[in-house]
Amino acid sequence: MPPADKNRTKFLLDEKDIPTKWYNIQADLKSPLPPVLHPGTGKPIGPQDLAPLFPMELIKQEVSQERWIEIPEEVRDVLRLWRPSPLFRARRLEKALGTPAHIYYKYEGVSPAGSHKPNTAVAQAYYNKKEKVTRISTETGAGQWGSALSMACSFFGLQCKVYMVKVSYQQKPYRRIMMETWGAQVVASPSPDTQAGKKVLEQDPNSPGSLGIAISEAVEDAATREDTKYSLGSVLNHVLTHQTDIGLETQRQFEHAGEYPDVMISCLGGGSNFGGFTLPFLAEAIHGKDIRFIAAQSAAAPNLQGEYRYDFADHAEMTPLLKMYTLGHQAEMTPVRGDGLRYHGCSPILSLLRHRGLIDTIAYPTDERHVFERARMFVQSEGFLPAPESAYSIACAIDEALKCKDSGEAKVIAFNVSGHGFMDMEGYADVLGL
Amino acid sequence: MPPADKNRTKFLLDEKDIPTKWYNIQADLKSPLPPVLHPGTGKPIGPQDLAPLFPMELIKQEVSQERWIEIPEEVRDVLRLWRPSPLFRARRLEKALGTPAHIYYKYEGVSPAGSHKPNTAVAQAYYNKKEKVTRISTETGAGQWGSALSMACSFFGLQCKVYMVKVSYQQKPYRRIMMETWGAQVVASPSPDTQAGKKVLEQDPNSPGSLGIAISEAVEDAATREDTKYSLGSVLNHVLTHQTDIGLETQRQFEHAGEYPDVMISCLGGGSNFGGFTLPFLAEAIHGKDIRFIAAQSAAAPNLQGEYRYDFADHAEMTPLLKMYTLGHQAEMTPVRGDGLRYHGCSPILSLLRHRGLIDTIAYPTDERHVFERARMFVQSEGFLPAPESAYSIACAIDEALKCKDSGEAKVIAFNVSGHGFMDMEGYADVLGL
């Protein structure tokens, strides 16, 4: 790496600098995560309980206590298409705000699917392929995860079935077309293809669906077919581990910038982009480094303000029980444009760290006016159009930068733009009245 | 630059390697371009004839015979947000095709507006700002150009009015919202805001509009307002010159790859992405280098197969006359998904080079089946979703690569992906039946 150079707009790394190992924070948690419980027996589950759903390598990673997990060369070969992603110094935004803060953003919108989600989708598709799985089922809400897995399955020659929350399926035809272009089969959830879907449709034929219901459908699909495993795009430990590419690159890029973050911000629904961005830095915080972490959430689903207890990951109570911050697995949540933030529970890893006081949270009102107005300031100064979820990260970062303007502090503020918003422009129109 | 390294997937340059000068091929044309003629007198026009429409610096650039034109630091400061753009070796596509050809693509979809268009939009906005213009008018068809200019005007604090071809305005609300998010005013063309628009609406109130009509409206807007100048996103010499960033970077990236293109391909409507990508290489061809250049066009507007003669750039005969390959400025053109290719004339620079036999052309059928099927092969192997226009470049490159498979030749094929297709997915759905 060249010497620190403070004058640049973007900090790029070479494709040789894509991490060769993922960081697994379980090795640094001091006391281990609470066990995952079987929904029937209430006892801790073993690998065989998860075998119908996941390939064995991912089950191992889920409970691994190894600090570093080798990234297979076949996975890095795909990541090379867009990784390392750039870290930007938001010089134009700083100027527009008139803040002494130094603002940086990592930009995951450069991936072909347009978000951070392919970081784990590619890994999951690879391990499934390696263990001779030929078909993967999953759910998607806003569509970012379904897009990522569809692409990953296309790369490894796997079939992919996506249960897409019905309201999204209807409102976002482009997302469906995108997944189908990569070769996936996409159905609106609740669907008549599963018992879980049928049950909901019997009670309410016009159900708009929810992420919880779609998870139930995808899990049932995998559990009842020999050729199929299930894939989840957030919440689980192995997902967050795969996402640490983001934070590991960011660490090197900050070396390159000759700075270090005082505040790290990202939006949080299930936790995959927040975790990927912050876990390598949270490890340093565990060891005493002074960094403030803020999860930007929606008041529609302020799960980090919920209870820290065991709960299901899905609506129909088919998944194991996870110890996490939760609003209750059947909680009603107001629809918002940042749909990816609308999930009842937070990943067990981040929940534990929150429980230990390492993660702050803010929940923005469901009218989303503040969030989209802040996002527009970013769009007009930095150019890039963020996904509605990423708009929450931006709003929080701008709020913090304006506090620095008041206090005169030149804090280093880093946030993650988890995806672009090209396919979500109706959010801008509705909220900003365009 | 590090030594040539053939094993990489992408060839990145540092932001310090953004060109400091644009390349102006007029210095290397041996005999000069035919003069631009006044539509009233039929005599060559002078700078003062163009002054109501363009800032003086752009008028100078339009006729400059200087080989290199300094890029202002303020322009490079904006380009830094996404330039240099990556050059990819399409290893996964090569493997999928089983071709011995080495396939490379330059990817302009990384710009915040999603295409190559900001390369000139930023420059044009800057020169207008510098000459105290406060408002710019323009037209847009598919929306890429309007998006780029809206963003550029946002960066330089200029008002922007976009006349958007009505059929696009209706079919692509996301594009409109995007432009408005950057602060532009967008109206459907033909509009009641201009005499040109009113005239068309009187004859046909349901006119779907056309690029030619929208140009007439935007030109009239600028010609009749003191505070406003006009901006064009293609065809003109200064536009192509600004786009040479693409080809200049590509030259350095090929040094890095340790290869040199045998065939260069890009789609061609007015000529801005084709010109930007190829002009620095066409200069080498003028001096004897053996490169084949292929313009991928639509049978809806195969302008390079038209006549080489003087014609208007717009529908209402308001623009000066340009010597170019043209289908006639009031030619009817079948609607296609690659709407940016649907223009009656080709840039004078490229027309002259075509006339001298340096540029080949192929026009794909208007059902676009072949084009989108080829694009899907690219999507499923390389991941990135190209704009419908860029799908033509891909189709042509794959066709050439398959010829190499038949002949056993390991040709180096380079093409330009001028933009992403996230906002144009209905093309994939309609043509591929998704």
What CA–CA distance (Å, rounded) separates B187 from B169?
A: 8
Asked if residue A115 lies in contact with residue A148, where contact means CB atoms within 8 angstroms, the answer is yes
What CA–CA distance (Å, rounded) separates B326 from B338?
A: 18
Per DSSP bridges, beta strands A263-267 and A292-298 are parallel
Whether B153 is covered by a domain: the verdict is no
Interface confidence (ipTM) of the complex: 0.96
Asked if residue A143 lies in contact with residue A164, where contact means CB atoms within 8 angstroms, the answer is yes
Cis peptide before B190 (omega within 30 of 0): yes
Exposed, middle or buried, B95 (CB in 10 Å: 0-12/13-18/19+)?
A: exposed
Q: Is A159 helix (H, G, I), strand (E, B) or coil?
A: strand
Cβ–Cβ below 8 Å for A181 and B423: no
Q: How many Cβ atoms from other residues are within 10 Å of residue B276's Cβ?
A: 31
Cβ–Cβ below 8 Å for A181 and B376: yes
Asked if residue B364 lies in contact with residue B334, where contact means CB atoms within 8 angstroms, the answer is no
Does the pTM surpass 0.80? The reply is yes
Residue A154 with chain B: CB contacts under 8 Å: 379-380
Task: Measure B83 CA to nearest chain A CA, in Å.
Answer: 10
Specify the residue for token string 């005969």. Answer: B317
* Residue B144 dihedral angles phi and psi, to the nearest 5°: -65, -45
What CA–CA distance (Å, rounded) separates A419 from A116?
A: 6
Rama region for A187: left / alpha / beta (φ>0; ψ in -120 to 50; rest): beta
Write out residues 175-194 of B within 8 Å (CB-CB) of A: 176-178, 180-183
Whether A129 is covered by a domain: the verdict is no
Whether A42 is covered by a domain: the verdict is no
Question: Could you write out the DSSP letters of every residue in A283-320?
Answer: HHHHTT---EEEEEEETT--GGGSEEEEEESSSSS-SP
Total tally of structural domains belonging to chain A: 1
Buried/exposed code over B116-143 (b: 16+ C-beta within 10 A; e: otherwise): bbbbbbbbbbbbbbeeebebbbbbbbbb
Exposed, middle or buried, A206 (CB in 10 Å: 0-12/13-18/19+)?
A: exposed
Whether B162 is covered by a domain: the verdict is no
What CA–CA distance (Å, rounded) separates B107 from B237?
A: 23
Nearest to A9 among B81, B177, B434 (CB): B81
Whether B135 is covered by a domain: the verdict is no
Sites in chain A below the pLDDT cut of 50: 1
Q: What are the tens digits of pLDDT across the range B405-416?
A: 999 999 999 999
Whether A86 is covered by a domain: the verdict is yes
Asked if residue A245 lies in contact with residue A19, where contact means CB atoms within 8 angstroms, the answer is yes
Which of A425, A428, A432 best tests the B interface by mutation, with the highest count of B CBs <10 A? A425
Sites in chain B below the pLDDT cut of 70: 1-4
Residue A12 with chain B: CB contacts under 8 Å: 12, 14-15
What CA–CA distance (Å, rounded) separates A192 from A202?
A: 10
Residue B423 with chain A: CB contacts under 8 Å: 174, 422-423, 425
Which of A1, A5, A8, A9 best tests the B interface by mutation, with the highest count of B CBs <10 A? A9
Write out residues 66-95 of B within 8 Å (CB-CB) of A: 77-78, 80-82, 88, 92
* Helix extents (H) in B42-116: 47-50, 56-63, 73-79, 91-97
State the Cα angle at B25 between B22 and B27, rounded to 5°: 105
Whether A100 is covered by a domain: the verdict is yes
Query: Closest Cα partner for A174 from B421, B407, B348, B263?
Result: B421
What CA–CA distance (Å, rounded) separates A75 from B334?
A: 44
Asked if residue B69 lies in contact with residue B22, where contact means CB atoms within 8 angstroms, the answer is yes
Q: Is A199 helix (H, G, I), strand (E, B) or coil?
A: helix
Specify the residue for token string 């011995």. Answer: B100
Asked if residue B60 lies in contact with residue B135, where contact means CB atoms within 8 angstroms, the answer is no
Whether B185 is covered by a domain: the verdict is no
Q: What is the per-residue pLDDT for B211?
A: 85
Domain interval for residue B341: 10-20+72-115+238-432
Question: CATH number of the domain that B420 lies in?
Answer: 3.40.50.1100
